[in-house]
Each structure stands twice: as C-alpha cells, then as structure tokens.
Amino acid sequence: MSSPPGFSVRTASWQEDLAPLQDLRRTVFILEQQVPESLEWDEFDAVSQHALAIDAHGHAIGTGRLLPDGHIGRMAVRHEWRGQGVGGAILQFLVDCAKRRGDAVLHLNAQTHAIGFYERHGFVVYGEDFPDASIPHRRMTRVLQPVAS
C-alpha cells in the first residue's frame, strides 16, 4: 500500500521497535489523554502485529496494532501529523494485514470523537457508549472481503 508523500508505514516488532512504539503511545495516551500508565501496557503488545508510521527523516509519527483475535487498537498519531492521512494509512495497513492472514471480521473500540474517522474506513458502530480509561468509547466492526487467491 502506498502512503501520501512525507511518510511511510511499515511492520514493527514489539521487541525491535519497542522505544519508538512506547514513545508514541506514552506521548499520545499517557501525556495527552491522561491514560494511567498501568492501563496502557498489556500482554497483547508482545503478540500483536504492530504498524509504525515514519516520516521522511526516519522519526516515528504514528502507530497501531492488530491483535491475534482481529481487534485493532492503540492507534496513535503525533499531534503535528494529525489530519495528514497518517491515521488512515496505519488503519489501512492493519486492515490489509488482517486480510492477508484471513481474518473475516475486524473489531475496535473507538474513542467517540473518532467514530467518523473509522466510519470513513468502513467500520460500523454497535452497542452503547462505555468508558475506557475514563474516555468514552463505542464498539465498531468491519466485515472483510476474502482475498482472491
């Protein structure tokens, strides 16, 4: 998948890319959104497929992860890069990864302010609002089309 000029998205390893992945999530979730650090890191980091967006200078500017069960989460983009297609490129990268491995359905818990973003990428809201780290969220899902062999 190609990305708009100025950045690219690649697969990241939790072990090899730990520093930039943690820095991005610490900046966006812990510092900006006041998520308690004890809630940010979990056992799914080591077993998830991570995406890392890198700018033209090699700096990490965004991330997201795809869990083994088809949940997408921990989508984070540096403030100065928001609105420039980085989040969409990361999301599409993770959707493509899920399609390649044969996932039929994707799920995510969207912060309510971001529902429109996910809807533009084919996700549909279901259920009621619920708090996660004191931030209102809604569950969303997307049925994937099979990849032609």
**In-domain check, residue 148:** no
Cα separation, 2 vs 8, in Å, equals: 8
Q: Other C-beta atoms within 10 Å of 92: how many?
A: 17
**Residue 11: domain span:** 7-143
Q: Other C-beta atoms within 10 Å of 102: how many?
A: 9
**The token pair that represents 58 in the structure block:** 């090699």
**pLDDT reported for residue 145:** 76
**The token pair that represents 140 in the structure block:** 């969303």
**In-domain check, residue 77:** yes
**In-domain check, residue 96:** yes
**In-domain check, residue 34:** yes
**In-domain check, residue 16:** yes
* Structural domains counted in the chain: 1
Q: What is the pLDDT of residues 106-127, one digit of tens each?
A: 999 999 999 999 999 999 999 9
Question: What does the mean pLDDT of the chain come to?
Answer: 93
Q: What is the CATH number of the domain that holds 29?
A: 3.40.630.30
**In-domain check, residue 2:** no
Q: What is the pLDDT of residues 87-110, one digit of tens each?
A: 999 999 999 999 999 999 999 999
